[in-house]
Amino acid sequence: MQKKYLAIDIGASSGRHIVGWMENGVLRTEEVYRFPNSVQRVDGHLEWDIDSLFANVKNGIREAFAKYPAIESLSIDTWAVDYVLLKNDQPIYPVYAYRDSRTQAVIPEVHSILPFETLYAHTGIQFQPFNSIYQLYADKKAGRLEQAEDFLMIPEYLLWKLCGVKAREYTNATSTGLVNAQTKEYDPEILKALGLPETMFPKLTAPGTVLGPLKADIAAEAGGQTNVVLCATHDTASAVEGIPMEQGDAPFLSSGTWSLLGVKLASPVTTPESCKANFTNEGGVGYIRYLKNIMGLWIIQCVQKQLGISFAEMVELAKTSTYTRIFDVNEARFSAPQDMSAEIRAALAETGDAPATDADLINSIYHSLAYCYGEAYREMEEVTGQHWDKLYIAGGGAKNATLNELTAHYTGKQVVALPIEATAIGNLKIQMNI
């Protein structure tokens, strides 16, 4: 009997429980549970329903045990930057979602205390208005931090609820914008300068650490017992671990709600050129994930919801269009617009002909995304002084043949599309220690 492991991978639009095991040297996976996730708009703010996420985490564990009573261990990864503040070990609500605009007002103040160039030289983390550093400062201004006794990133919170052990995991911690790229620990100078309590940002723990068994009440509810392990809890860190590369470390594109295009590097690049190009140095499993955030399938997901057609139908529609005008997918206006289609039409109308039909709109999105991948690849070659000839694409987006072809066209590189659940695979690999 092969040993079974459970990966719980939660993204901005869905979560899934995936059981994995080794069979004749090959990692096999089976999805045993899936649930929807989405940001909630409450009183003009964007929030996560953390209680419902935890309820679904438990439901899925119960399903996994129902099918596989013996599971060696489990772990959880989620998107990055968001966190739970705790008082008396209870969440301080709301748990804000990163697309919320509350950070806008505090960004200039943070940069007046610590200019962005200084932050980048310390952390190597690219500017994103939603980085935890700005969210925490917004919490400080709102008096929420004052009440808080503890701080856990979302996966750490969910893991703690399962096993009772609080751990701070290195890869996800780097996404806060508070971790020093050289020491790989929270940066005391940044914490002090911003008045963030050092006690809430203790030593970091490496992925692969065993936290302990499920709490007795959780095990009883789930119908089984297992060990809780800390994987690379940032989903992108797990995804990069899960992408098999034939030889060496070629550039990757983790293509989901976000498109993360980058390469594994042995050490961080925190030069002013890298800062200007806004590449990030996130923590990886024994390397740096040098990458750029590109707005990604989020744009397509929003338009798909608006049009009420399937992703496959969108691809078919695009094929009927010859409209290939490009817009800048990374503009802040596409981060959380009320009406994505209208926002894109408006952006294109500002510089020329607007798309006349839905087919034109969709075709323009695919071209604009792939164009942006090409630009990011070239910038990455320029800043690192290295050259590559391939791009590995994994995640949901890898299944889109049209987008893959356009990506090959705009990057001028050989595209290796891997229609695999790279994130769950990476999560499992850390648990299996392979």
Q: Which range binds ligand LFR by CB under 6 A, 34-42, 147-155, 232-240, 391-399?
A: 232-240
Task: Give me the count of residues in the chain.
Answer: 434
Q: How far is the CB of 82 from ligand LFR (least distance, A)?
A: 6
Which of the following is catalytic: 235, 339, 358, 360? 235
With CB under 6 A as the contact rule, the residue among 158, 260, 303, 418 that binds ligand LFR is 260
In whole angstroms, the minimum distance from the beta carbon of 289 to ligand LFR comes to 9
Residues 282/293, Cβ–Cβ less than 8 Å: no
User: Does 235 participate in binding ligand LFR (rule CB under 6 A)?
Assistant: yes
39 or 196: whose CB is closer to ligand LFR? 39
CB of 53 to ligand LFR, least distance (A): 14
Dihedrals phi, psi of 330, to nearest 5 degrees: -90, 0
Q: What is the DSSP letter of 135?
A: H
Within 10 angstroms of residue 216's Cβ, the number of other Cβ atoms is: 10
Let me know if 389 is a catalytic residue: no
The answer to the question of residue 258 lying near ligand LFR (CB under 6 A) is yes
Q: Among 73, 257, 259, 411, indicate the residue that binds ligand LFR (CB under 6 A).
A: 257
Cα angle: 382, vertex 387, 390; to 5 degrees: 125
285 binds ligand LFR (CB under 6 A): no
Out of 205, 238, 274, 293, name the contact with ligand LFR by CB under 6 A.
Answer: 293
List of residues 6+ apart from 195 with CB closer than 8 A: 140
Choose one: 110-118, 256-264, 302-310, 356-364; the region binding ligand LFR (CB under 6 A). 256-264
Is residue 103 involved in binding ligand LFR (CB under 6 A)? no
Edge to edge, the sheet with strand 414-418 lists 280-283, 288-294, 259-265, 252-255, 390-394, 414-418
431 binds ligand LFR (CB under 6 A): no
Give the whole-angstrom CA distance, residue 342 versus residue 348: 10
80 lies in the binding site for ligand LFR (CB under 6 A): yes
Q: State residue 9 phi and psi, 5-degree precision.
A: -120, 115
The reply on whether position 157 binds ligand LFR by CB under 6 A is no
Interatomic CA distance for residues 100 and 110, integer angstroms: 17
Looking at residues 337 to 376 of the shown chain, list those that interact with ligand LFR (rule: CB under 6 A): none
Least separation, in Å, of the C-beta of 26 and ligand LFR? 26
33, 79, 120, 334: residue in contact with ligand LFR (rule CB under 6 A): 79
Using alpha carbons, list the distances in angstroms from residue 34 to 30, 220, 312.
11, 22, 21
**Helix H or strand E encompassing 62:** helix 50-67
Cα–Cα distance, 243 to 250 (Å, whole number): 10
Question: Which region among 24-32, 144-152, 209-217, 250-258 touches ligand LFR (by CB under 6 A)?
Answer: 250-258
Residues labelled as active-site residues:
235
> Which residues are near ligand LFR by CB under 6 A?
11, 79-81, 98, 234-236, 256-258, 260, 293
